[in-house]
Structure 1
Amino acid sequence: MAKIVHVAWADRVMQQYGKRVLHLHQKFPKVLPRIVNQVGDRAKTQVVRNLTKQTGLPRKTIVAAVGDPSRARPGRLSYEMVTRGGNIRLKYLDAKETEAGVVAKPFGKRTLYPGAFMRGGRFPDRKDVKKFDGHAFYRLNRSGTRITFARSGVIIPTEMTRGATKSAFDRIAGPLLQQRIEAAIAKLVP
């Protein structure tokens, strides 16, 4: 599952400035891509910062999920942040086993997952199981011979396109892009 967050500002620019933007791009082909990349990098910083708070995942996990964006260059004026991923396993959300189940921090809030487990044996003498590798599981049958990963409901691509992360992106990218392009037009194509 991949989602792309983008600012569709190009139509407004062409209506407002028309030939001046075209002339700027023809005369100085590196200016607009540089502006798009600078604004995109600043927006990416805000996306990572807000997505970390919003999901409850560590910053390094979010940085790896967002990855390197495809950057603007002459002839291609777009900056795209693409992320992939599914329902995050509890292991990555500071999971701890209790007698009632596993407690983790999806969306930054402590949540109990009743019936989930991370260790083997009977309470209170539970032991780490090496092949579990720190993951939390649910039993699929009564005997416990079939198990499945416990998942949090946190899906990075979905979270990237809503809430505080989306509003931070919209608040930074659109106005800053407009401001920088207006300044470049005023300076280079008066």
Structure 2
Amino acid sequence: MSLMLTVRGNGLPRLEDAVEALGEKKARNAYRRAINEAGRDTKTPTQRALAEQTGLKVGVARKALRVKKASASDLQYELQGKGGFIRLKYFGARETRRGVSAAPFGQRQVLAHTFIKGGLFPGRKELGLGGQVFRPTRGTRWGRDFETMKSDVRIPDEMVKGATADAFQRIGQAKLSEKVARHIRLVTKGVLT
């Protein structure tokens, strides 16, 4: 990132006053505000890109992200992803006769021998387990053990590649230069732009 310096008005004396007024403390605070504003403006497009990339709904992707704002001592804005492999219920899972159909990474697929409901077709009943997708772990008899099915999607892994990383970098860089210039202009009362 580069900043361009333009001197207006009374020339050098005004520039000296502006640089003195800016000082290190005011400059760091201006940078902190600019970084946090740029991060805030970048967060929503990044969440949308993450949701599209993974096949999740935007609200689910939003819950998986945490923000660490910049401070005067640490001029760094972080958008952190948390969590492990995501359960299939968050990918529009629905039960069919052949198994459960879900769409991780936006690609719908049927997972054989999986279920959401209990009983025999066509009178299947809700199990009251929150719409989770299950797979039997042993045997085919009634009352069998089962496990919850998860996808291959992990938010922290997906944030550093593809459209999500591109959106954060591309939009973040553009917004950051715009916000830094604005805050420097505010602090120096228009002398530095």
Structure whose CA Rg is larger? 2
Q: What SS does the aligned partner of 2:68 have?
A: coil
Q: What SS does the aligned partner of 1:85 have?
A: coil
Aligned partner of 1:37 in structure 2 is 36
Aligned partner of 2:60 in structure 1 is 61
Aligned partner of 1:6 in structure 2 is none
* Maintained 8 Å contact 2:68/2:79: yes
Aligned partner of 2:179 in structure 1 is 180
Is 1:134 the counterpart of 2:131? The answer is yes
Q: Distance in 2 between matches of 1:54 and 1:61?
A: 13
Aligned counterpart in structure 2 of residue 102 of structure 1, from 92, 100, 111:
100
Aligned partner of 2:70 in structure 1 is 72
Q: Distance in 2 between matches of 1:178 and 1:35?
A: 9
* TM-score of the pair, normalised by structure 1: 0.79
How far apart are 1:184 and its partner, in Å? 4.8
Structure 2: stretches of 5+ with no match in the other structure? 6-18
* Maintained 8 Å contact 1:25/1:31: no
Aligned partner of 2:164 in structure 1 is 165
Q: Distance in 2 between matches of 1:27 and 1:133?
A: 52
Q: Distance in 1 between matches of 2:26 and 2:133?
A: 58
Q: What SS does the aligned partner of 1:81 have?
A: strand
How far apart are 1:112 and its partner, in Å? 1.2
Aligned partner of 1:113 in structure 2 is 111
Coordinate RMSD, CA, aligned: 2.5
The alignment covers a number of residue pairs equal to: 172
Q: Distance in 2 between matches of 1:165 and 1:124?
A: 41
Q: What SS does the aligned partner of 1:145 have?
A: coil
* Maintained 8 Å contact 2:41/2:175: no
Q: Distance in 1 between matches of 2:23 and 2:176?
A: 15
**Relative to 1, partners in 2 of residues 1:109 and 1:25: Cα closer, same or farther, differing over 3 Å?**
farther
Q: What SS does the aligned partner of 1:153 have?
A: strand
Q: What SS does the aligned partner of 1:30 have?
A: helix
Deviations 1:20-51 (A, max 9, x none): 8xx65434442110000011111111111111
* Greater Cα shift, 71-80 or 134-143: 71-80
Sequence identity percentage: 35
How far apart are 1:163 and its partner, in Å? 0.7
* Maintained 8 Å contact 2:27/2:184: no
